[in-house]
């Protein structure tokens, strides 16, 4: 087992510096333009692919780094550059994590490379879980998957929403209900290959923040996928459903692994790291501004009111990073989250990003409210981190259930 360390070591330090250079030289100069355009920044993604940042190999190396901090370091640096472009670059990894968390070795080897494409022919992937009537309540999913035994095919019908890269992706991973009686435990994940008839993009959302990242509805209307597109395979699914039915018949209710939650559990510390990157970026802008902005004959940082704000901002950012690194290390060393440490990291980092960016706007005063300075965009981008991949309220619910052992509602 790897020992928890706050020193990332020479390899991860080199990766951090490399990513920081890309974020500073390529992402930041383009951030305002793509935020205004509200379009996927394909040229930036391709640039990232050419130097190896947007690739399966790169993310696999970080994901399997024994220290556990490879992914958090990568996420923090890219999102320090810009959250919208950062999410456009890393959005595919959520679908990849879904395959890693639920798929067989053969499925991982087949689908994960197709999600990224090549530097000359870049592709993206989408993970489709939320629905118009099922966001935090994953048990309410209405998208159905029915098995056609004669053809060994699954037939999918339903509408997904809030899908990053939804509709523009080559590969979609769709969470669907196979046994409605079992609620969240009766769900499974399916890969929808490129060009499959019946899958289409619904409305594209015009968002408050992270506007360079494509978010849209995905409609699956009579979509047929081969049996081998069920992540984990049918035998494994049948066994899991049988166990869930047995538990449902008993006093304990249906418990067990849920396809969507397995993905979110694996990704929450990484999302927390993204929030840390946004918060750090806003803090640095505010610190520089406070040291150079002169009012009443002296820099405004000479005032305790401003200096103490910055002290609190820095303290919360470092605390958030520590929670993210702890959860990531625990996941890498296969330690169970007995106290919902993954949710703790995402909760605190998300709330920190929202708070720190708000404080940064306040320190910049009227300038902070204009698009001439980046903290306005950072503040808009931060807002989603208390909402997506589990709202702050849901994280608190998960944590309170973990620490109390009670079915808190």
Q: Where are the domains of the chain?
A: 9-122, 125-249, 259-404
Task: Give the model confidence (pLDDT) of 320-371 as tens digits.
Answer: 999 999 999 999 999 999 999 999 999 999 999 999 999 999 999 999 999 9
Distance CA 403, CA 409 (A): 14
pLDDT of residue 199: 98
Residue 264 has pLDDT above 70, yes or no: no
Report percent pLDDT > 90 for the chain: 88
Residue 1 has pLDDT above 80, yes or no: no
9-122, superfamily in CATH? Acyl-CoA dehydrogenase/oxidase, N-terminal domain (1.10.540.10)
Question: Higher pLDDT residue, 253 or 72?
Answer: 72
Task: Give the model confidence (pLDDT) of 54-108 as tens digits.
Answer: 999 999 999 989 889 999 999 999 999 999 999 999 999 999 999 998 999 999 9
**345, 323 contact by CB (below 8 A):** yes
Mean pLDDT along residues 134-152: 89
pLDDT of residue 254: 46
Active-site residue, from 131, 265, 389, 393: 389
Distance CA 126, CA 123 (A): 10
| CATH architecture of residue range(s) 259-404 | Up-down Bundle (1.20)
Q: For all residues of the chain together, what is the average pLDDT?
A: 94
**179, 122 contact by CB (below 8 A):** no
CATH of domain 125-249: 2.40.110.10
pLDDT of residue 139: 75
Task: Give the model confidence (pLDDT) of 17-46 as tens digits.
Answer: 999 999 999 999 999 999 999 999 999 999
Q: Count other Cβ atoms within 10 Å, centred on residue 112.
A: 22
Locate 38 and state its tokens: 């509200």
pLDDT band at 266 (very low <50, low <70, confident <90, very high): low
> What is the pTM for the complete model shown?
0.94
Task: Give the model confidence (pLDDT) of 309-320 as tens digits.
Answer: 999 999 999 999
Q: Tell me if residue 341 is catalytic.
A: no
Q: Count other Cβ atoms within 10 Å, centred on residue 388.
A: 18
């Amino acid at each position: 087992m790897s020992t928890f360390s706050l020193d990332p070591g020479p390899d991860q330090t080199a990766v951090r510096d490399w990513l920081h250079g890309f974020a500073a030289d390529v992402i930041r100069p383009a951030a305002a333009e793509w935020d205004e355009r509200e379009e996927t920044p394909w040229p930036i993604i391709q640039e990232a692919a050419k130097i190896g940042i947007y690739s399966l190999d790169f993310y696999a190396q970080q994901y399997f780094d024994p220290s556990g901090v490879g992914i958090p370091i990568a996420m923090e640096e890219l999102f320090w550059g810009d959250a919208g472009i950062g999410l456009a670059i890393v959005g595919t990894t959520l679908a990849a994590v879904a395959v890693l968390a639920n798929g067989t070795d053969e499925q991982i080897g087949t689908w994960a490379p197709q999600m990224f494409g090549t530097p000359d022919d870049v592709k993206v992937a989408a993970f489709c879980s939320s629905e118009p009537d099922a966001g935090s309540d994953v048990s309410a999913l209405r998208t159905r998957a029915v098995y056609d035994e004669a053809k060994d095919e699954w037939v999918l019908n339903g509408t997904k929403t809030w899908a990053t890269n939804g509709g523009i992706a080559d590969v979609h991973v769709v969470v669907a209900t196979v046994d409605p009686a079992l609620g969240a435990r009766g769900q499974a994940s399916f890969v929808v290959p490129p060009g499959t008839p019946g899958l289409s993009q619904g409305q594209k959302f015009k968002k408050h923040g992270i506007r360079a990242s494509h978010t849209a509805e995905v409609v699956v209307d009579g979509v047929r996928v081969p049996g081998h597109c069920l992540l984990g395979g049918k035998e494994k699914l049948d066994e899991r459903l049988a166990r869930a039915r047995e538990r449902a018949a008993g006093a304990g209710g249906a418990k067990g692994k849920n396809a969507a939650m397995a993905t979110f559990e694996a990704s929450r510390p990484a999302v927390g790291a993204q929030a840390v990157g946004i918060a750090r970026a806003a803090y640095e802008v505010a610190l520089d501004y406070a040291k150079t902005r002169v009012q009443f004959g002296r820099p405004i940082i000479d005032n305790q009111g401003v200096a103490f704000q910055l002290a609190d901002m820095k303290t919360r950012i470092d605390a958030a990073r520590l929670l993210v690194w702890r959860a990531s290390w625990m996941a890498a060393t296969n330690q169970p989250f007995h106290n919902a440490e993954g949710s703790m990291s995402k909760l605190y980092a998300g709330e920190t990003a929202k708070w720190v960016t708000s404080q940064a706007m306040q320190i910049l005063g009227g300038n902070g409210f204009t698009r001439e300075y980046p903290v306005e965009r950072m503040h808009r981008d931060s807002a989603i981190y208390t909402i997506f991949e589990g709202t702050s309220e849901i994280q608190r619910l998960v944590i309170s259930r973990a620490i109390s052992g009670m079915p808190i509602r």
